[in-house]
Structure formats: structure tokens, C-alpha cells
Structure 1
Amino acid sequence: MGRGKGGKSRTQRKHFQENRENVWKSKRPKSDSYSDPIPISNPYETQNPAFDHYYKATKEWDAFVQVLRTPLPAAFRINSTSRFCVDIRSQLENDFMHSLQAEVAEGDNTEAIVPLPWYPENLAWHSNFSRKQLRKNQTLGRFHEFLKLENEIGNITRQEAVSMAPPLFLDVHSNHFVLDMCAAPGSKTFQLLEILHQTTKVGSLPDGMVIANDLDIQRCNLLIHQTKRMCTANLIVTNHEAQHFPGCLLNRNCDKMEPNRQDQLLFDRVLCDVPCSGDGTLRKAPDLWRKWNTGTGNGLHNLQVLIAMRGVSLLKVGGRMIYSTCSMNPIENEAVVAEVLRRCAGSIELVDVSSQLPQLIRRPGLKRWKVCDKGKWLVSCKDVPKSHRGVVLPSMFPNGGSYQDVVDSLGDDIITDDVNRNSEDDVQAAENPVMHEFIEEDSDFPLERCMRLVPHDQNTGAFFIAVLQKISPLPAIQIKPRKEVGKPVDTANPGNEDVQELQINPLESIPEEISEANINDNEPNAADLKVSSVAWEEVDFKEAQDPCKVENITKNTPGKRKLQFQGKWRGIDPVFFFKDEVIINSIKAFYGIDEQFPVSGHLVTRNNDTSHVKRIYYISKAVKDVLEMNFSVGQQLKITSVGLKIFERQSSCEGRSAPCAFRITSEGLPLILPHISKQILSASVIDFKHLLQYRAVKFADFVDAEFGERATNLMPGCCVVVLGEGNRAATGPPQVDESTIAIGCWKGRGSLTVMVGALECQELLERLLMRLDTVTEKDSSMHEDKPSDDKGDEANGKNEDEVEVTGC
């Protein structure tokens, strides 16, 4: 990654939360009708001659391109693990479906919002209003505010409809280890975490976990921001090139290893949603129209193959991988899948999932396509001029092959003639393949099992999905290097001029020479192909290596990129297991945490100085195992975020004087709530609502005097208030289940102060009004007026804007 002026990183130059310019925000006549097409005067023209030339042969071209030139309708998904999941779905079905229908243009039979018929349990919804209309149309204001609030809290995720499909075909179970190779911005990662937690009981964690990776540290920050709303202890966010993702291979002969311990990091499921030209998102990002060209897809092809191969190498036998793009280009789609199947030599199977999600309208994958290079159509690798063979790779064609095979089969005379061919004849033959001597190819692989989701089938964007199953270990792949003209054969090593052995551990790295995609049509692609032998997985080293001295592993391997083994990545805070027993025991004693909640070995921090630790994170057993493995191999994983923030130190004077210096965070509260027996109260509906409304209430001002008295008797510091039933709080220990609503508070000298952000307080109040029957408020003279302006001693040392906003 390049560095900016003055040595500043990208994240310092531009914060990830800055909004990208809305390219649909153009000066044009106002209209409330969502069916109005984009006028030709739009500065972002929705036309591109090169695009038309490339896709003109598409079936139903007119319908296809007409839909592409209209804005993308908004879509969103309800978080299935949210405690308000049923309430939100009911609100959409019984409220918004009817109230928004009046905004549909007269005479139009389309529904304003509808659940996606193919998504399970009506949890995903499609709106026939564009994002711009939701922002600009005042009559849609309530619905827009609903979407913004619930998205910020984490109850819904605004996501393109077709982007929701890949995780559903991955068949994730709660015990699976899942790798999301190119995860940012995080919508699919959030979806995978939902599926992982779906069958988990309150207060417990699934046995599986997700590693979400992205190359760009700025996009990793966006990924962390998105997934933080999920409140999960089963996630690790990493910052690596996907094609070089570490395998964390341990030495099988190391005496320090446990006998039954996994010795390499492999996954049950891999989501390989690779970087692509993105022409399936033209409706959402119309600025791509003017940028589109065939060189982008051609240049990304090799990188996509490398990432996909890395994905299958990290997959367990019997595991499943999704290869997907938001592109319609077969060079980035079917050609990549065919090349992966070709290299894997029968160890990977393309799965037929046509019977799954039957209501999702899809088209079969292509078995025949041509390659376009600078406006010229090429039907076979035999058709590629010699000067362009560094850019147009054999793997881009349906039957693959190699240029060496072309030389062997056709002879040097025909190949040399490519250079001297009359340019006018060359163009004519390429643009009219019928006149050419080579015929179009059909792939031998069952590529019709791939799925193409096209815009005009269901008024969406475009997407490509292929489901791959690993049925046996991958073979070592022999690749013959190109013979260079005029280069003498090495007579000192006869027989080795065609194949050279490189001792490369594929679970550690892929050679640097083939790591980059060349997107420039005018420059040769160095990836064709300097590597002669790559064993993609399961390599036994001839020399035993001590994992405690992992810097020796393949230290002198030619062509292997240098790995970092410092134990601390530059610019990334290291991860430490938190082992301060004094602090841990004080937290357990203060909150009465039972022994069923595992604490030892499950707490981590990013600061090794325990006296200055501000935040403590909780990790699941699966994440704990991965971290221990990562330490064993020299911290090869560059971890940007891990675990669930569960405790946070209070820095104010009140916090320092409290018996326990750490409070329970709102993110960690749902996990630990069933396991605490101290510092917890049950409040009546009225008192709970007043806490949310006024944020600080004196003990004497509570409606239920008994509740106020119990609050007075609590130890100073953090406490938890659980919503009870009726006008009086329960006297016994609160009963906790999936529907329990609780908030963190601070018990000061004379009041309780809510330690929840304003947005969550607002959302909780709205949900209470919908979920609960109207409660007759007694003694209302006190409650209609706002209680004392006392802010509860400002115990937490924060103003309202600084109070942490949570996503649970």
C-alpha cells in the first residue's frame, strides 16, 4: 500500500466515516414518482459505447439496458438475532406496507415495499423507492427515519438485494469456522455472523467463528464499524492481501504442541467475494458508466484466480466456498471458475444449487464467451497476437490452455506471422469471428451450475455466484514457464529447463511474482507465468522447524515474499491475553459473575500494561484457539479488531472511587446478563420509561418507592436495570431470556444515570410503546413533569454526546 505525502497513512488523510458524494444527487426537475427515468441531461451519463459494444449480444438487451439506466431501489435486511426482530417485521407488514402505498404513482400496480420472496422468514425487504426519493420526499420521511435509526442501532442492515444471496448458499452452521476473504464494507460478514448466532441461546456463544479480512486498512475500519453493531465475541478482523492470507501452519513434530490440536488454520466455509470491475452496480454507482472499459475486467482476472485458489487451499476437505462478484463480465466470472477447476484437477466440484431458494430468479452460467482486447474480439488463445500475450491470458478463454501448447501445435511460423499480420485484416478478422480461422470454444466444465442474477429479472443489481465443494486435497500444480526467445538452455541442469521446483508453503504465501493484477492493457502481465511449481496445500517440510523460531520457516525460499514475525504489526495495536487476576477477581466479585461464564483465557486487551488498560474484550473459545495458534506461529495474522468489548474502565473521579473500576458495556451486557447476580435490579414499566426519557432520576423520584430504596442500597458504580412487568418491579432475581430488555446505569450518590446513548434510548422507547399495553400511570403529577435537572452526579464523566452508543 502506497504512502501519502509526509508519511501519513490513508486513514489519517481521510476518515472512513466521511460520506461519499452521492452521484445521483443531480440538478433535475423534482419528481415524487419512483418510475421516472434518469434524464439525458444528467451529468453522469448512463451510456458508454464500449459497454454497449461488449454486452450488446446479451439476451433481452433492450430490457436489460433500460433497467440499468434507472436508480437502484433501496433494500434492507432485518437482523435475525435482534431482540426486536419480530416487532420490526410486524411493523413493516402492518404499518409501512399500507401507509407507503399511497406514495406509489397512480395507475401503477407495484407495491411500495415488499418482502423478498426468496429470503427466509420475510427478513429481507425490497422498496420500490430509490435512496434519493427516501431522502428528498417529505411524505416518506417517517420511513426514512425508521431505516436510519434501526440501521444505526443494528436491528436492520441496508444492503443491496442480490448481495444478500451468497451467504445463503454457503450453508453455514453454528460450529463452522468461516473466512470472508474480501469482507469490507461488511454487510455479508454481518449476515454470516447472524447465521452463526441464530440457534444460540441467550448468554452463550456458538462454537464457530468468522475471520473477516480486507486489504485496505481504511476499509477494515468501515468493516469494524459495520460489524460492531452485531455485538459478537466470535469475530476477528484482519488486514491482509487475500491471495496471501496466512495459513498459520504449525510444525507437526513440535513437542510443545498438544497431540490433538489443529496444526494449521483451515476453514469449513469460505466466502470469496473478490474485487471486480463492478459493472453489476451501475444502478447504484452511475459514475462507473464513464469509467467502464474491458481492460479493467481483463486486468483483474489473474488476481481473482489467485484469490480463489488461495480460498480453496484454506478450505477443509468437505468444505464449501462461494466465489462471487458484482460483475457481469464472464472473464471475471465463468473464466475464473473454470481456471480454478482446471488447476484443482478434480479436487474441487462445482455444486448444483438450482433447487435452493427456488423463488430467486437466476440465469445459468455461460459455457461460451469471447475475450475483447482493445475492441477486438478473440475467440481462442490461438487467436491472441504475440504482442498481447502478457495481457490476454489463456485462462480467460473457455478451454484455457497455454501459449506453449499453441506453439507446439501450430508451429513457430504461424505464431511469428501474428507480428507481421496486416493490421486492417487483423481488426476485421477479430471483429467478425466468422471470418477467422479459429472457431469459438465451449468449456468442458459444467459452468451452467453457476448463477447469474441480472437486473431486469427482479429489479435489482447484477451478481454472479458459484458454489464450490472441496472433495479431496489439492494436488501440487505443475506450470511450465514460457520459453524466452534467444535464451540458452541451462546445460548444467539438463531436463530441468521446463520444470523448476520451488519449496513453497501455500498455507503461508503465494509467490510475489504472481501476486499483482495488471489492469493496464498496454503493459504485459508479469504473471504469465514465472512460477513453475506450486503445491497449493499440505506441504511436509524436509527440515523440522521449531514454531518458536518461525522466522526460519522457508527463510531462504526463492521468490517467496518476506513475512513479518515481529509479533507487532506496524500501525496495529498488538493483542494480549488479559491475565491480571486481581482485576478479574474484583470484577467477578462486584457483579457476582457465576462460574458457568468462562472468564479465564477469554479476556484480551490491546495494551500490555494492565494498570492502564481501558477496554477489555471477551472472545469465544473458537477465537481463543485461533489466537493461541497465531501466537505459536509468530503472530502472522495482522489483527485489527477482535472480540466483544465487555468491560471499560471508568476514568472519572466517581469511577475511580467505586469498588470496581470497570463497568459493563452495552455491547457486552446481553452476553453477561444471565450470569450476574449482583448490581442488578428489575424496574417497573413506568420507572424504566422514565429512565430512558430523562436519563437521570433521583432515588426519591421513582414511582415505585421500593425500587428507589433498592437502588439506594446498591454499591456505587455500574449497575444493570431490567425491564419488569406492570407497575411494580419484581422483588426476586430478574428472569432473563431472549426478549429481556436491560440497560446499564451508574449508581451515584443520589440518583441513577443511564449509560446508554440517545439513539438507543429513543429506539427502546418506541419499541416499548409498540410492544407493551397501555399502562395506567398512577401519581402522574410527578411524572408528567421532568424530574430534577440533576444529572445523576455525572458519574461516568461523559456528556450525552460522549455516552457510548450501542448496537445491541
Structure 2
Amino acid sequence: MGGRRTQRKHFRDGREDTWKNNKSDTQQPNADLHWQPFAVENAAFNEYYKEQGIVRPEEWDSFIDCLRKPLPAAFRINSSSQFCKDLKSQLEDNFTKSLQAEGTDGNEAEGIKSLPWYPDNFAWQSSFSRMQLRKNKKLERFHEFLKQENEIGNITRQEAVSMVPPLFLDVHRDHFVIDMCAAPGSKTFQLLEMIHKGAEVGALPNGMVVANDVDVQRCNLLIHQTKRMCTSNLVVTNHEAQHFPSCHLKKNLVNGSESGMSQLLFDRVLCDVPCSGDGTLRKAPDIWRKWSVGMANGVHCLQLQIAMRGLALLKSGGRMVYSTCSMNPVENEAVVSEILRRCGDSVELVDVSSELPQLIRRPGLKTWKIRDKGVWLASHKDACKHGRSGIVPSMFPSGQAHSDASDDTNDKPTTITDEVEDGKSDNNGDVDAAADVFVAVVSSLPLERCMRFVPHDQNTGAFFVAVFHKISQLPACLASTHFAVQTKSNKQSREREYDSDEKVKQEENKDANGMDITNVEATPNTDVLEGEHKDINGSNEEVTVDEDCNPSKKLRVQSPNKPKSRADKANDKRKLQIQGKWYGVDPVVFFKDDAILTGIKEFYGIKESFPFYHHLITRNSDTNHVKRIYYISESVKNVVELNFSAGEQLKITSIGLKMFERQTSREGIATACVFRISSEGLPLLLPHMTKQIASAPPVDFKHLLKYKSIKFQDLVNDVFREKVSSLSLGCCVVILNQGNECLSDPPVVDKSTIAIGCWKGRSSLSVMVTAIDCQELLARLLVRFDAKIESLPDVNCEEADDARVKEDSETVTTSVD
């Protein structure tokens, strides 16, 4: 008790605010109060990569100088955006010239340019870093443009080399694609663009994309990114990539499958695996001080597991791209080499040197060296002699041994181990002195078909890409027992690398998140009551990520589960019944309320040709309290039906396109349909609607975007006023009459049609679009119809600002209802 009284008295007396700057200290000339930049130097990094020879010795200075410079900002225009051509024209005719004329820091050559290797000039790169865009006043207008268009979804801010892997997948509209390590979602967005490329208005592709990530928080980021695409052909899952479920039916259920599918296999697989991330040094300079050889050695087995799982999920005749944002051959060529060795003739490494000819790339390495804790290792046997349990055989190149020594060698190649046994190493066991007789093993596999991208070739980050073609089914001998041994030894080495303070910190991070990640290959009889799972060796891992890539995994120490009381178990059982199989994730339920569906269809006049029934789902098992209804394509519907039949093996965090949302009027007006059309679902549904549509001239369309709510008597066009007055109370759609003349009823919808969702009240028409979308759309219209719109008088709306509708600003969470 005395301690508590002392503590209370201590707080009453107050304490000095150590975070508050002392003015007297800031006035001292020698006070070091300024932030110091990261040191862009690491001796171990230089020694390691000079020895690996990823660049020629004469290029080293250019290579390292480029790594020390900030990374230029890059972005990509969404090719499926309605305004993609307008954006490209704005960049070519406006920003390119203005930024070159202004320049920064006296350099008039700086500006923006399209990346010549990206198709249709949809990818752009500026000469300015992200820091310059934020701090330089001359670039403020361009920076605001990037932020706004990225938030809306018209562009995606993405590192240039990060755009490369999806381009080599050769995705078509009818392909089933999986992105195994998808977050934060920039590559998934690319894949969705490819699926939707050339789609007709109101039509959906036959293919789909499954975007998977191990971290539930990163899945939320992934959902937020891909939501801007407004697609019904996407499923987001939360699994460990190396344990992604097979999702297949039992033999006795194959014939009874509603979808006609017996197993979920993919035409294309993207494995952008977790890695050490040293290819992002220009974007994340803190990696300089953190970098060590162990970062790459520690993730090699995980990368190999994910790649092998990806090949198992790939159809025969399909293509898989393996990529990392690392320069380390242990994570790159070593993984590719082991894949080819294991798979034999069932998989081949594709030569894509003729594709994207303007993209500068370098061939993969045929030989490399392994280093661990200051020691160069010649072979796995050598690693065992040095007690390096974390070094596995797949890290070493396999093939014919070659030596640079001029003298003749014996049939048995000389290795570092031989020199150590001869007593030629120093007392500390350092074998660097024997490097001159190190025997390099040159791989006999066609690893030159891999692609390595280095920063100073095209002023980018570093990346590695390999393309595989699956010829036939994988050999049956590819069992998981061999990987279990490798991963166990790898785990033990990683445990020694993290001290106790780091483990405590990671444990605190786990508690702060409130939930561990459930990643288990489920079976129909699996009941997951806890969001917690260990890998095949009992270890748990967390992912630390960068905005454009998948970085390294770290060991996470977990405390044992506390025994649960009877009340807690009953509560868990009740949650399982409400939420579905997966803890913390809402169930996927087909919406089958015929009365509500018939009412929606009749209210909006949805055509019979539109596949409506059996394509609507919700995330709430209580259909009487459904808030949102999602639309899924035929391909996604087949996957959902297969997942149900297989025992819900897929842990689905997001699915489909939000089509309808329950809306109540603030005026208390009873409407014939309480579900309004969401902004995301409007482009898909509009071509199939025959009711609740009004065509507005540019002046009234502009006023709606500007004032958000307008009374009927303040509408300028008489025909538009009469049409709006004749609509039923509730949700409606207003289409811009670009010709400023009456259109057919219902209007003809094409790719150029601009439409917004509105709410018709007793005496006013209100826009149901977010403020940022209104601002962007108004800016686009001013460019297209500047002379027509600006010459018309503004309407006098004194109370317009008070009549605004609540913006549709739903936050992204795992529980969507």
C-alpha cells in the first residue's frame, strides 16, 4: 500500500516532460537536435555481393552509387479505368512539359516519362523521389494529383520493377489466377486489369483471381487496394502460402458437385515470395544497417516451400512466375535450381528473353557462394563440419566443379574444407585466406533464363524473376518429410539469431494485435476455434512488409494457451455458429430471400438476360439483418460451391463486388426498395437496368456534383426535372447527357457513359457519392466540357450544403457486416 501512495503522490507532483523541446537547448549551437539520415554503407554487404559477382567489377561503383540514391516515384494507370485515356493525355500534355520547365534544384531535365517497356505507355516514372514529392513546393500540384487518383483507383503507385512479374504471366480473360503472397495488392491489381482487359460494358470475364496473404491485417490492406478495381472476379483468402488448401472433393462427391469442379487448380500462379528485401535499399535505407547474410539464409526454405506449393496448384500446361525483391542468389537462383532438380522433366524454365525487349535485364547466375557467420562454405558437407545447421543442401549450386587455378587439380575438387584440414586457416576459423583456391561449382541447369534487374540499368530497384512452365504432373516422390527436416534446421538457426529482447518485443506486438493468424490446410472435419496455428515444425512466423514487396519473415515466440473456462468454450461455440468455420471471419452465404430479390429486380427493372439469382451473397448468416449484398461472377460462384462441398477449406476474408446496400431515408420516407445500388456495383448493373434512370444535361450534372443536393425547382433543364419527378422515391441513377439532348428511355449505355447514384426524396435530389469522387469527376468534366459548362449560370442554392447525404465511406475490415 505504501508503494501505491508514493506513486499517487509522485503523479500529483508532476513530472518533467522529457519529450518537450527545451528552448535553451535549441539555442545552443552545438546541440545535435537534427535527425540524422541512415548510413548507406555496410561492409558485409559490399564484401558479400562483390564475391557473388552479380555485377562486373568495373560496374561496382555505378551499382553502389545508384543504390545510395533515393528511388524515383513510379505509378501505373489503371487500364480498365473509364478515364485512362484522359489521364494519359494529361500526363503527356500537361505534367510532362510543366515539370520539365520548372525543374527542381536547378536541374531542368527532371520530370516524368513513360516506361518504354510497359505495354501501351500505362506505366510512368518520375525523376523525383517520394521525399521530393512531399517536400518540394513546385511539385505540390503533381503530388496532389497522384494522391487523389491513387485513392480513387485511376492510378496505382508502385515501384517500376514491381510491375514486371505479372507481365510475364501471360494472363488471359478466361484464366484462373492465384497470387500466393498478394499483399499489399499492387500486383493483384495488375492481374485484375489483365482479366478485365477488353471486356464489354456490363460483361464479365470467365476467369478470376485468388489473392492470398498470411497476415489478416495485410489482407485488410489488400482488400482496400483491390476494392478500387470494382470487380466481382476476386476472392481474398488468408492462408500460409506453403499450406494453401487443395480445396478438392472426396471421390464420392465428385459427381455431385454443383459447380462441376472437383479441385481448385490454376492456369497462372504468381509467387512473389517473402524475402530479405535488399533490392529495396533505395526505398528503405534502414535495410543498410540491418542487412546480414542470415536474412537470406533464413527464408530460403520458406521460399522453396511456397514455390513448390504453387507448382502443385498449377494446371499442366500452365505458367508460374517466381519473383523476389532480393539480389541474393540464395533466395533466387538456388531456389530455382532446387525446383528444377526436384521436378525433373515435369517443369521447365522458360526463356522469355524475347518478351518486353525494351526492358533491360541480366541473365541468372550459374554459380554462387554460400556464407554464414563470416565463413564461406563450399558444400553442405563443409557446413556440417562447421556446425552450420541452418545451411541446407538446396542452397548450393549443383553441377560440374570448375577451378580458376592454373595448376592441374585432382579428380576430387579442392574446397575450403580441404584447406582448413591442412591448417591453412587462421585461429578464428576464418577461411577467407583460402579464397584463391575456392572451387566454384557451375550449375548445369539453364539458370541463365532467369532475369535479374539491377538498379543502375534503368534507375530502378533490384528484382529477380523466373518463369516456369508446367509440362505434366509433379512426381509423386515430392513428399513433405524432406522439407520438414530442412525447415527444422532452418528454424533452429533463426532462433539463435534473435536475442531475448527481440522475442519479447515480438510477443508484445502479438498481444497488441489481439489475434494470431490461422493458416492451416483445412479438412472438412476441422473446427477452428482459435486464430492460431503452427507450421509443420511447431514454429510461428510473422511477416514484416514494405508497400511494394513481400519482405522477410521473423520468428514469433508464442506463450502457451491458457486453459479455457466452460463459459469461454460455450462462447467460442456460439461464435463459431454465427461466424462460420473460420474464427474472426464472417461466413459466405448465398442470399436467397426471393421476396427481397424480386423487389430489387422489379424496382430497378433489371433485365432477364443479367445473371441475377444465385450470384448474390452476403457475409451475414441472419438474412433478416443483411446490410450489404455482394455480386459474384460465374467463375467465383463455382469456386464458392466447390468450397462448400469440400468442407470450407478456403478461409475467405473478402469476396465479390458490393452491389446493394441497405439505405434508410432521413426524412422517414417509406420506399419500395430499401436497398440502394452501391457506387462499386453501378458500372456492372447499369447496362442491365430499365428503371430509375434519368439523363441530365451537363449543367445540372455539374450542380449535383458541386452542391451534393438540389431541390427540384432549382434544376435548370425542364425535361430532366420532369423525369426526376416521375421516378419512384429512393435510389436512382443520373446519367450525363454528353450531347446535351434527350436520350432514349432507358438511355443507351456504353464505355463513355458517366453515371452517379442518387437518392430521390420528396422535394430534392441528393448525390450518393464520396466527396473525393465528386471532386475528381467534376475535374474530369471541366476538362471535357469546359466551354459548355462554364458558360452556363450557377444555380442559387443557399441551403445546399445543409442537405448533403452521408458519404459512402465504409472502412475496410475483415467483418464486413
Band the TM-score falls in, shorter-chain normalisation: 0.7 to 0.9
Contact 1:701–1:787 (Cα < 8 Å) also in 2: no
Q: Are residues 1:297 and 2:291 paired? A: no
Q: Is the 8 A contact 1:303 1:516 kept in 2?
A: no
Could you report, residue by residue, the CA deviation over 1:460-497 in whole angstroms, capped at 9, with x for unpaired residues?
Answer: 00000000000011002267989xxxxxxxxxxxxxxx
Residues in 1 aligned to 2:485 and 2:737: alpha-carbon distance in whole angstroms? 61
Deviation at 1:512, TM superposition (A): 10
Partner of 1:598: 611
Counterpart of 1:52 in structure 2 is: 46
Whole-angstrom distance in 2 between the partners of 1:156 and 1:677: 32
Q: Which residue does 1:270 correspond to in 2?
A: 269
Q: State which drifts further: 423-432 or 304-313.
A: 423-432
The residue aligned with 2:700 is 687
Inter-partner Cα distance in structure 1 for 2:786 and 2:480: 74
- Residue 440 of structure 1 and its aligned partner are, at CA, apart by 1.2
**What SS is found at the alignment partner of 1:114?**
strand
1:733-769 Cα distance to aligned partner (Å, 9 max, x none): 2111111100000000101000001101110011011
When structure 1 is superposed on structure 2, of 66-75 and 701-710 the one drifting more is: 701-710
Contact 2:259 2:639 in 1 (8 A): no
- Say if 1:54 and 1:602 are closer, same or farther in 2 by CA, change over 3 A: same
Instruction: Give the one of 707, 721, 726 matched to 2:734.
Output: 721
Q: Aligned runs of 1:166-181 on 2, under 5 Å?
A: 166-181=165-180
What amino acid sits opposite 1:455 in the alignment?
P
1:280 and 2:305 equivalent?
no
Structure 2 counterpart of 1:153, one-letter code: I
Task: Tell me the CA shift for residue 444 of structure 1.
Answer: 1.3
2:568 alignment partner in structure 1: none
- For residues 31-56 of structure 1, give each alpha carbon's deviation from its aligned partner in whole angstroms, at most 9, with x where no partner exists: xxxxxxxxx99431111111111112
Q: Give the corresponding residue for 1:87.
A: 86
Alignment check: 8 A CA contact 2:630 2:657 kept: yes
| Amino acid in structure 2 at the alignment position of 1:746 | W
Q: Structure 1 pair 672/431, CA: closer, same or farther in 2 (3 Å)?
A: farther
Q: How does 1:722-741 map to 2 (within 5 A)?
A: 722-730=735-743, 732-741=745-754
Structure 1, 79-88 or 339-348: larger mean CA deviation? 339-348
Pairwise CA distance, 1:725: 2.5
SS of 2:583 mapped into structure 1: coil
* Corresponding residue SS for 2:722: helix
| Partner in structure 2 of residue 336 of structure 1 | 335
Shift of 1:548: 10
1:346 Cα shift?
1.6
Map residues 94-493 of structure 1 onto 2, 5 A cutoff. Answer: 94-104=93-103, 108=107, 110-254=109-253, 257-258=256-257, 261-399=260-398, 424=426, 427-430=429-432, 432-436=434-438, 439-477=439-477
Q: 1:146 to 1:341 in 2, by over 3 A?
A: same
Say if 1:263 and 1:450 are closer, same or farther in 2 by CA, change over 3 A: same
Cα distance in 2 between the residues matched to 1:97 and 1:68: 26
Work out whether residues 276 and 327 of structure 1, in 8 Å CA contact, stay in contact via their aligned partners in 2: yes
Q: C-alpha separation between the residues in 1 aligned to 2:107 and 2:67?
A: 20
**Shift, 1:337, TM fit:** 0.4
Following superposition, the deviation at residue 430 of structure 1 comes to 4.5
Question: In 1, distance between residues paired with 2:719 and 2:811?
Answer: 29
Q: 1:421 to 1:551 in 2, by over 3 A?
A: farther
* Local SS of the residue matching 2:457: helix
1:589 maps to 2:602: yes
Letter in 2 for 1:449: R
* Alignment partner of 1:749 out of 758, 762, 780: 762
Q: Distance in 1 between matches of 2:769 and 2:489?
A: 46
SS in 1 for 2:467: strand
Offset at 1:230?
0.3
Q: Is the 8 A contact 1:385 1:419 kept in 2?
A: no
Take 1:93 and 1:614, find their aligned partners in 2: how far apart are those partners?
43
| Superposed CA offset, 1:360-403 (max 9, x none) | 000100001000111211233243243534211111011189xx
Task: Give me the whole-angstrom Cα distance separating, in 2, the residues matched to 1:606 and 1:63.
Answer: 54
1:44-84 Cα shifts (integer Å, max 9, x gaps): 11111111111124421100110100100000000000000
Distance of aligned partners of 1:656 and 1:523 in 2 relative to their CA distance in 1, 3 Å threshold: farther
Give the match for residue 716 of structure 2: 703
Structure 2 CA distance for aligned equivalents of residues 790 and 716 of structure 1 = 21
Q: Once the two structures are superposed, what CA deviation does each residue of 1:680-715 show, in whole Å capped at 9, x if it has no partner?
A: 011001110110001101111111022112111111
Cα deviations by residue, 1:630-670 (Å, 9 ceiling, x for unpaired): 11111111110000000000144557721101000000000
2:61 partner amino acid? D
- Specify whether residues 420 and 633 from structure 1 end up closer, same or farther in structure 2 by C-alpha distance, changes over 3 A only: farther
Q: What is the CA–CA distance in structure 2 between the aligned matches of 1:325 and 1:242, rounded to whole Å?
A: 15
* CA deviation profile, 1:337-377 (whole Å, cap 9, x unmatched): 00011111121100000000000000100001000111211
Normalised TM-score (structure 2):
0.80
Secondary structure of 1:263's aligned partner = coil
Higher mean alpha-carbon deviation, 45-54 vs 645-654, is at: 645-654
Q: What residue number does 2:683 align with?
A: 670
Match of 1:636 among 636, 649, 664: 649
> In 2, Cα distance between the equivalents of 1:754 and 1:515?
58
Q: Residue in 2 aligned with 1:660? A: 673
* Paired amino acid for 2:435: P
Unaligned runs of 5+ residues in structure 1 are: 1-26, 28-39, 402-408, 483-509, 526-546, 553-557
Q: How many residues align?
A: 695
SS of 1:660's equivalent? coil
1:771 aligns with 2:784: yes
Q: Does 1:518 align with 2:491?
A: yes
Deviation at 1:804, TM superposition (A): 9.3
Tell me, in whole angstroms, the C-alpha distance in 1 between the residues paired with 2:67 and 2:76. 23
CA-atom RMSD in angstroms:
3.2
The 8 Å contact of residues 694 and 787 in structure 1, kept in 2 or not, is answered as: no
Q: Measure, in 2, the Cα distance between the counterparts of 1:180 and 1:748.
A: 45
Q: 1:497-547 CA distances to partner (integer Å, 9 max, x unpaired)?
A: xxxxxxxxxxxxx8698489538457599xxxxxxxxxxxxxxxxxxxxx9
Q: Deviations over 1:245-268 (max 9, x none)?
A: 001121233375249922111100
Equivalents in 2 of 1:479, 1:764: separation in Å?
55
Taking only the aligned residue pairs, the percentage that are identical comes to: 60
Q: TM-score, normalised by structure 1?
A: 0.81
> Matches of 1:389 and 1:559 in 2, distance apart?
21
Alignment partners' CA distance in 2, 1:802 and 1:393: 50
Q: Structure 1's 48 and 481: CA in aligned 2 closer, same or farther, altered over 3 A?
A: same
Instruction: Return the alpha-carbon distance in structure 2 between the equivalents of residues 255 and 226 of structure 1.
Output: 36
Query: Following the alignment from structure 2 to structure 1, what is the Cα–Cα distance between the partners of residues 381 and 686?
Result: 67
Distance 1:121 1:449, change over 3 A: same
Distance in 2 separating the partners of 1:239 and 1:480: 22
Over 3 Å counting, the alpha-carbon distance change for 1:387 and 1:574 in structure 2 is farther
* Contact 1:726-1:775 at 8 Å conserved across structures: no
Q: Is the CA contact 1:326–1:464 (under 8 Å) kept in the aligned structure 2? A: yes
Deviation at 1:578, TM superposition (A): 0.7
Q: Secondary structure at the match of 1:377?
A: strand
